Structure 1
Amino acid sequence: MARIPKSKMSHLSYEELVHDGNTSSVDGWDFSWFEGRATEERPSWGYAKAMSNRMGKASAGLDLQTGGGEVLNTVEKFPPLMAATESWPPNLALASKRLGARGIVVIADRDQPPLPFANEVFDLVVSRHPIAVCWDQIYRVLRPGGTYFAQHVGHRSGFEVSEFFIGPQPDNMIRSPDTARAEAQAAGLEVVQLKFERTKMEFFDVGAVIHYLRKIIWLVPDFSVEKYADKLKGMHEYIQTHGSFVAYSSRFLIEARKPLA
């Protein structure tokens, strides 16, 4: 017997779920919208807390690609010098409002080199789920002995969702932890910590899937409700039958240090 869907929106019709997922705001990296509609396990290392502890001991910190500033805003004590970057205008506005209230400068940056900072300014550079990582630039702005501490999205993250809509995808190892280690070392950094985990995601209604694909745009780059109407109907029927759609995210924690000499 099929499970009863867990979604708090299960009383809505298919058309209402599609409309809700397609019209809700996807600005920022606040995922509270998914409460009661989708879940994702968190990696065991607890990035936000670990990052906050490091910030409390730093003298100059930088958060790259801060999104709406949601994660950085969880830091309890900021260093005397603190800055953040963001490229997407809606996120930039959110971050500027949220972090500006705490005295943090948020700088518009295109996520392309060079970073808009002088050499050897920061003793701690952090990032959560960066789209692109410019290791040479991270090395340049770090002080000798400084640290890059970040949580990255790994290879084949959420591919079960991608492949439902667009078929089998190549195993892109560009985002693998081994690739990150090699690139960090090539830039002159010493990798002192590297952890990898795959964690379970579960979607309980098709509206949550739509919202997710609109937010994580690289999973199905040409996604639209109109173009994938048949697939969405199939997804809805699958969830109605099985109670949820399960996928797996991949995350890795990397800590790299700039040598003193």
Structure 2
Amino acid sequence: MKRQNGNGRSRMTRSALRRKRLPFYKKNSFIISSFLIVIVLIGIFVFWKANSSNNTASTQPSHKVEKVKPKKETKKKTVKKAKKTTKTPKVTKDQPAKQVEKQPEKKQEATPIKNPGTYNDLTYDTDWYTFKISNEVKLIKDANGDAALLVKYNYTNKTNNNEVPQQVQNNAIMLKQDGKQLAATTATGDNAAIVNSSNNGQVQPGKSFDGALLVKVGSTTSEVTMYFKNIQTNAWLDSTQPLKLD
């Protein structure tokens, strides 16, 4: 028997003998099994840790915020606005109420014109006025010493308003010499009073006034022609009055 064991050992290599003589904790089988056991233990620990964390998470109170209603509700005080009362003022005897009544507008009807203008025998007549031309027509000197023609007249106001003779005659009577209209000029000396009163004085309705007009002439020999207006059409009448200066 000893020979057989000896022969068996002689057949094994040195490396095999060395491995066979190693202690159990250095053998590969022990190391592998130990490694597997460690892996299993680690897995069990991880599984246990995960379960324990889930249990603790479920047992912990939630951090949700809930609205808490107060025990006593405070009612807001409603402030009542005072109504504005408009008091109507009392009318006393000392201060009577003024009532403005709208009166219907009166339409002024234009008075129809019967005589728009006629001239005959040195008389220029209309529904509004009458000019009677005087025979006293003469050349004089104006305030500047220039030649001027003085024509006296009698004016009657037929309107219902005060009228200025000079304004009426300036609008209704025109004087021309050599085709040019003659312009009014200023009087001097004894003739200034009658000309100025005609230019500035007012004649009341139904009243007459002795006045005069004064115009500057360009020639002391050429004839001057007077024209009279139609108050309805504002056209000049066909009848004229020639005035000779020589």
TM-score class, shorter: under 0.3
TM-score, normalising length: structure 1: 0.19
TM-score, normalising length: structure 2: 0.20
Which gives a bigger RCO, structure 1 or 2 (Cα 8 Å, sep 6+)?
1
Bigger Rg, structure 1 or 2: 2
